[in-house]
A and B are shown apart, each in its own frame.
Chain A
Amino acid sequence: MNANLNNNDFGKRLKSMLKVDFRRMFTTPTVWIMFGVSLALPILILVMTSFVGGQDPETGEAVATFTNVWQAIGSAGGAMSMDLTSMCNINLLYFLAAIFVCVFVGEDFRSGYVKNLFTVRSKKVDYVFSKTVVLFVAAAGMFVVYFIGAMIGGGIAGLSFDVAAGMLLFTMIPMMTPLNSGAFNVILCVAGGPLFAFGLGAVSNVILNKTSLV
């Protein structure tokens, strides 16, 4: 049998790799656990903080941590801020997404599955690109689930829902990146996904190609 050397261009390889990764993503328990945490988190935060509030430093009166559902999502600025209201909000999705991608990629290497990928036709750049896309999709899924969780939690806690949803999205999207809100930042954020993927892909092609993986 002579080798039938078909054309395996980047598009074909990436399509296959994405198919593998999305199949894995929806069959691995990790992603469902992350979605579960993303759903439970805002419910727990909103319900619990509606019972346990803080104190107004000036008047000494009891003040609820959140008075509005959307505060739980976009309550504070950058992810580096370490107080309760800034951490127990959508910033937690940074950590969940990071954990998810670590476990997801780690499983490939731990099980030796990565051998199957690289010994056939996949390039390392395909792998990095595909994993980046999966991370973004998973993070977007967690974001949506968190959003739903926040509404459920707000409903249970009896918090106000007063705010325009469009404005909310406008403030939330920049929060998912280490940028502050602003039209330019939102545009950067939207463009950031592909730029990040291409950047990582290029770096991996240059560096990882000279590295032994397994």
Chain B
Amino acid sequence: MNAIEIRNLTKTFGEKRAVDGLNMTVPQGAIYGFIGENGSGKSTTEKLICGLIQPSGGEIKLWGKDHKDQNVRSQIGVLIEAPGCFPNYTVWNNMKLQAANLGLKNENEEIRRVLHLVRMDGAASNKFKNCSLGMKQRIGIAFALLGNPALLVLDEPINGLDADGMRIMREILTDLSRRGTTVLISSHILGELEKIATHYGIIRGGKMLCEMTAEELNADCPTYVALKADDVNARIVLERAFERVEYDQEHGELRVYGNNRAEEIADFLYKQHGIAVTEIRTAKINLEEYYIDLMREGR
């Protein structure tokens, strides 16, 4: 059974269509990376799923039931934008309120469990307003984890986290997914998302551009030969000989797509044009590059 099924979802704010006929399927137990530019409709979609805003059209089903069903909603853990905590309350007291809201019986035990999961045991007595941004994000995750929900909806949860925080987050989400919890996570930090996501959905202008599994993405990502040469004419020579050649400014290397034989390219440059290659390797484009390519194609 799919944890989330969305059909023809639409949300308009005045004249603007924030979500425009969106279709989306999140399988049970998946870590679903929800990707899109700023303003593409990610957060709006997540708010719609959580019932924070009402759709203008379409339907949202959670485990085959209407998303407004209170019994369904009680199975969701949410972190949208920032955690909703009272700044003058301690972390513990904030969590006590949410535990009461969820109707948990063993409140203290459950709060200790989730704080330990996000490595925030020591921060329970801190006032929320005195916590750092990274701490607040972790507390937000702990909030979402209270009551062991079957679906986690996380909007930019790794923003503000340090390297250790990101690693912890990866571990938590991977572990939860292993136990069958479904995670819908949106993030602009695609390198991190790529490490954990099992499924992807790419949204643009409120419409779903594509949905795919991590395996499908991997198969769809083209390989290329990256090389560095001393001669500035190398690019011109390669562009004449190969269909797609790009210069990667970040790494200062030329990329030749559609030919994975590095030695052949090196020989071609040296023997036919006298251009020496100083570095050469074969590689595959990553999620970030795939996403940027996709966005460029769409323009």
Q: Which residues of A contact B (CB under 8 A)?
A: 1-8, 12-13, 15-17, 19-20, 23-24, 27, 29, 107, 111-123, 209-214
Q: Which of B72, B74, B87 has most chain A Cβ within 10 Å?
A: B74
Selected contact of B89 from candidates A2, A27, A112, A120, CB within 8 Å: A27
A7 with B71, Cβ < 8 A, contacts A111-B84, A111-B86, A115-B78 known = yes
Nearest B-chain residue to A115, judged by Cβ? B84
| Contact assessment for B52 and A213 in the assembled complex, using a CB-CB cutoff below 8 Å | yes
| Contact assessment for A112 and B82 in the assembled complex, using a CB-CB cutoff below 8 Å | yes
CA A4 – CA B63 in complex, angstroms?
Answer: 10
| Closest CB in chain A relative to B6 CB, distance in Å | 17
Q: Which residues of B contact A (CB under 8 A)?
A: 1, 3, 28-29, 47, 50-54, 62-63, 65, 69-76, 78, 80-89, 93, 96-98, 100-103, 143, 150-151, 153, 179-182
Q: Which of B78, B84, B87, B98 has most chain A Cβ within 10 Å?
A: B84
Nearest B-chain residue to A10, judged by Cβ? B70
Contacts A/B (CB < 8 Å), 11 sampled: A1-B28, A2-B180, A3-B75, A3-B151, A5-B72, A5-B74, A112-B84, A113-B85, A116-B143, A119-B52, A123-B70
| Contact assessment for B75 and A118 in the assembled complex, using a CB-CB cutoff below 8 Å | no
Selected contact of B101 from candidates A1, A112, A116, A211, CB within 8 Å: A116
| Closest CB in chain B relative to A87 CB, distance in Å | 32
| Contact assessment for B80 and A119 in the assembled complex, using a CB-CB cutoff below 8 Å | yes
A16 with B53, Cβ < 8 A, contacts A1-B180, A115-B84, A120-B73 known = no
Enumerate chain A residues within 8 angstroms of B28, measured Cβ to Cβ: 1-2
| Contact assessment for A119 and B70 in the assembled complex, using a CB-CB cutoff below 8 Å | no
Top 3 closest pairs, chain A to chain B, by CB: A1-B180, A112-B84, A212-B53
Enumerate chain B residues within 8 angstroms of A19, measured Cβ to Cβ: 100-101
Enumerate chain A residues within 8 angstroms of B88, measured Cβ to Cβ: 29
CA A2 – CA B29 in complex, angstroms?
Answer: 9
Nearest A-chain residue to B52, judged by Cβ? A214
A119 with B181, Cβ < 8 A, contacts A107-B86, A214-B52 known = no
